[in-house]
Chains A and B, each alone.
Chain A
Amino acid sequence: MLASVDSCLLAGMEGRLVEVQADAANGDPHFFLVGLASASVKEARDRVRSAIRNSGMRFPQRRLTVNLAPPEMRKEGSCLDLPIAVAILLAHQGLKPPPRSAFLGELALDGTVRHVDGVLVAARWLRRRGYEQIFVPHADAGEAGFVDGIDVIPCLDLAGVMRHLTGVEPIPAVLTRPPDVEPLRSTEHDLAEVHGQEEARRALEIAAAGGHHVLMSGPPGAGKTMLARCLPGILPPLELGEALEVAQVRSLLGELPPGRPVDWVRPFRAPHHGISLAGLIGGGSGLANPGEISRSHHGVLFLDELAEFQSTVLQALRQPMEAGRVAITRSGGSVVYPARFTLVAATNPCPCGWAGDVRRACRCTPAAIDSYQRKLSGPLLDRIDLKVNVRRVPPALLASEPVGEASEPVRERVIAARRRQHERQGCLNAMLKPARLRAHASLEPSSRRTLERWADQQGLSARGFHRAWRVARTAADLDASERIDDRHVLEALGYRLHDAAA
């Protein structure tokens, strides 16, 4: 008897269909597993055998051949346990699986169906491929339930699944529903708690409104980290599609909390400067795992002490910053992960950190400062539109009540400015290439003169010119102004990078 059950394995955010064929023939009892199964899949043989026995069923004493098709694809992971067991039992009993159904799940020796990573991604992919029913571990049914148009059958244990398939005791499908949009909870970090730092607050508002990357420069303890942590709170909450993309990355990593799989707050990631290339961009053996840049998809990637990161790691950020996604090739094949994030970078002005501070003298040699800042210049900085100086706040100000604006009104201005951009050009200002800048951000004659005069006098490069132009467009959008006035250009020029790098 022959039975065939579908399942899928994940390669990045894409699925790959695996057909699990089981043949139960007469002959010496034996269990063959073929079809380029890696060591982790081969172990399924032993788990499946025990799981079937311990579920109160007999393991068929027949000549069993299980083939994982397509045979040229290397298979990894434990998510084929459930489909293998189901295929064997169906073949033994001469039954067929429900049409257009797929199975995912790991088996414990007692027959319990256990969590596997990436169920949300798999469910969305299977739905796109026309599947109508998906059997998933009970623990993961919540995340699969966000995908509509597909029946999600939560599987507690193998015996239950077989009772369902034989029609003895059907398992009700999980109600699929899009997640409720919660009113945005006040985030952990609110601008209301920031003392002073008016310049940096304004720069963050512009960054949030126009999707610009920011570089903050200032001595240790000036509050750069606190400011960066406030950025998610002034960004609009995630939209449904975005939230699902964020949840998919977390699902792949097995990091979705079962209680609230979809979170509306934008991710905030702050990897340490010792991070490896694979940790930041994504990597690992076989197929690459998502890195920090994908975990901060639709959110904020905060790199503190930018100059301390390995330069190869920083250079690798360029392509994803441009494309909004990253393609990584490993021995197991190539995968693509989303990586559209806002970069907030922070740096000390010099190795000791005190250059320019009022109260402490810097002890670095000019050569050390030079090489430190040279490390920061170059192609990565070309993609950062805003630079802002952060200074230590005088202690007298720290002791008083902070008087700055809270995050909420700022967020409202940001949302309004973003809406203007989407209506005008369909993307954020930071994404505007020079040709589209000319089309969508025409300068008033006087503001053009200001920008040109500056470029002339201060030797602004073409990149610096476009950078100031984009930021000016965002400043005007925050002003609800279609015209880019002189003051917008002048403000934008105030956020320019070090002249060496501009």
Chain B
Amino acid sequence: MPRPEVAGLRSRGRWPPPAGPRVALVGSRRPSPYGEAVAEQLGCHLAAAGVIVISGLALGIDAAAHRGALNGGGTTVAVMGTGVDLVYPAAHSRLAEDILASGGALVSQFADGTQPRRGNFPARNWTMAALSDAVVVVEAAEGSGALITAQAALELDREVLAVPGSIFSPLSVGAHGLIRDGAGLVQNARDVLAVLGVQLEVLDDPLKPPPGVGFEPARARDGLLIHLSEAMAVSVAELARKVRLPVAEVLGRLTSLELEGAVRRHAGGYVKALRRGGGRA
């Protein structure tokens, strides 16, 4: 499929990247633990399959996607809304260095020294779509910038895919809207690779992640766990009402599960934790 290279970008690191399919992973800056785990896992698996993972170096889904790609030993490119010499948010300067060190690149359409400005990010989102063969929206609330990227991808004739979530979660509204309008549904990296029609020569089994990456649901024996989900926080009061136990006991048991790493706090309640699987983690 023809993909004209975008001209006039400033870059740091290896640019243009090695030839190969490119996938943009985009989504909310404040995802649920579920969304974050999905982005990290997709980033990892896609990178391991030789896909160049593109994202925006922002908080949340973007950072998880870059991190996943790095864990997967692949190449990742950050398309920035600031000058390439200015990492935003500053907390990601370490991540930016890791991207460069692993053979990836930071690119920007803006002049060096450009400060973060609200108006620049939608334009950046277009660039991200233009650089990619497919855009995967992981978690995006209504009106999210990730939906601008998806819209741009449609107009530029790129593939648009989306990851489903809970119908109760405001963070999944955007992705579900895309799926309803015809975007491909992504359950795993294989779904993305299939849409790209990629010939998988790089690895024998692209879906077998390297050790220490990938997620699996928490394992613990407490019966409270069946009332919790990975994406949606359940409050202690709600849980106590469901299981008809005193709130003091429920809170104590949740704390105990938290100690074991089976649940974590999120948004005023608790969610099931997704454990990093494999040997190394």
B-contacting residues of A (Cβ < 8 Å)?
A: 196-202, 217-218, 349, 355-362, 365-367, 369, 389-391, 450, 453-454, 457, 475, 486-488, 490-491, 493-495
CB-defined contacts of A356 to chain B, threshold 8 Å: 233, 266-269
- Taken together as a complex, chains A and B put the C-alpha atoms of A201 and B241 apart, in Å, by 13
CB-defined contacts of B236 to chain A, threshold 8 Å: 198-199, 389, 494
- Taken together as a complex, chains A and B put the C-alpha atoms of A457 and B249 apart, in Å, by 22
Query: Closest residue to A468 on the B side, CB-wise?
Result: B255
- Taken together as a complex, chains A and B put the C-alpha atoms of A365 and B118 apart, in Å, by 11
Partner of B268, one of A389, A486, A488, A493: A389
CB-defined contacts of B29 to chain A, threshold 8 Å: 365-366
CB <8 Å contact, B268 and A218: yes
CB-defined contacts of A200 to chain B, threshold 8 Å: 237
Give per-residue flags for B154-186: 1 if the beta carbon is below 8 A from chain A beta carbons, else 0: 000000000000001111010000000000000
Q: How far is the CB of A214 from chain B (nearest CB, A)?
A: 15
- Taken together as a complex, chains A and B put the C-alpha atoms of A369 and B60 apart, in Å, by 14
Most buried by A among B59, B142, B236, B241: B236
Query: Closest residue to A493 on the B side, CB-wise?
Result: B255
CB <8 Å contact, A361 and B142: yes
Partner of B248, one of A202, A217, A218, A486: A202
7 nearest CB pairs, A to B: A356-B267, A490-B252, A494-B251, A389-B268, A361-B170, A356-B268, A198-B247
Whether a CB of chain A sits under 8 angstroms from the CB of B232 is: yes
Partner of B237, one of A199, A362, A369, A450: A199
- Taken together as a complex, chains A and B put the C-alpha atoms of A453 and B259 apart, in Å, by 8
CB <8 Å contact, B251 and A491: yes
Q: How far is the CB of A403 from chain B (nearest CB, A)?
A: 10
Most buried by A among B235, B246, B249: B235
26 contacts between A and B (CB under 8 A): A196-B241, A197-B237, A198-B247, A199-B235, A199-B240, A202-B246, A202-B251, A349-B267, A355-B267, A357-B267, A358-B169, A358-B232, A361-B141, A361-B171, A361-B173, A362-B30, A365-B29, A366-B30, A366-B60, A390-B268, A391-B237, A450-B259, A457-B259, A487-B248, A490-B255, A491-B251
Query: Closest residue to B247 on the A side, CB-wise?
Result: A198
CB-defined contacts of B247 to chain A, threshold 8 Å: 198-199, 201-202
CB <8 Å contact, A475 and B248: yes
CB within 8 Å of A: which of B251-267? 251-256, 259, 266-267
Q: How far is the CB of A500 from chain B (nearest CB, A)?
A: 12
Query: Closest residue to A479 on the B side, CB-wise?
Result: B248
Do A360 and B170 contact each other (CB < 8 Å), given the known contacts A196-B237, A366-B59, A389-B269? yes
CB <8 Å contact, A490 and B237: no
CB within 8 Å of A: which of B209-234? 232-233
- Taken together as a complex, chains A and B put the C-alpha atoms of A493 and B253 apart, in Å, by 11
Query: Closest residue to A205 on the B side, CB-wise?
Result: B248
Do A217 and B259 contact each other (CB < 8 Å), given the known contacts A199-B235, A475-B248? no
CB-defined contacts of A390 to chain B, threshold 8 Å: 268
CB-defined contacts of B266 to chain A, threshold 8 Å: 356
CB-defined contacts of A201 to chain B, threshold 8 Å: 247
New A-B contacts (14) at CB < 8 Å, excluding given A202-B247, A491-B248: A349-B267, A358-B170, A358-B233, A359-B170, A361-B171, A361-B173, A367-B89, A369-B30, A389-B235, A453-B259, A454-B259, A487-B248, A488-B252, A495-B251
Q: How far is the CB of A422 from chain B (nearest CB, A)?
A: 23
Query: Closest residue to B235 on the A side, CB-wise?
Result: A391
CB-defined contacts of A488 to chain B, threshold 8 Å: 252
Q: How far is the CB of A235 from chain B (nearest CB, A)?
A: 19
- Taken together as a complex, chains A and B put the C-alpha atoms of A454 and B257 apart, in Å, by 12
Query: Closest residue to B170 on the A side, CB-wise?
Result: A361
- Taken together as a complex, chains A and B put the C-alpha atoms of A366 and B61 apart, in Å, by 13
Partner of A391, one of B169, B240, B254, B268: B268
Do A494 and B232 contact each other (CB < 8 Å), given the known contacts A197-B237, A198-B240, A450-B259? no
CB-defined contacts of B170 to chain A, threshold 8 Å: 358-361
Q: How far is the CB of A206 from chain B (nearest CB, A)?
A: 9
Do A494 and B255 contact each other (CB < 8 Å), given the known contacts A360-B170, A362-B30, A487-B249? yes
Do A199 and B141 contact each other (CB < 8 Å), given the known contacts A391-B235, A457-B259? no
CB <8 Å contact, B30 and A198: no
CB-defined contacts of B255 to chain A, threshold 8 Å: 490-491, 493-494
CB-defined contacts of A196 to chain B, threshold 8 Å: 237, 241
CB-defined contacts of B251 to chain A, threshold 8 Å: 199, 202, 490-491, 494-495
CB-defined contacts of A361 to chain B, threshold 8 Å: 141-142, 170-171, 173
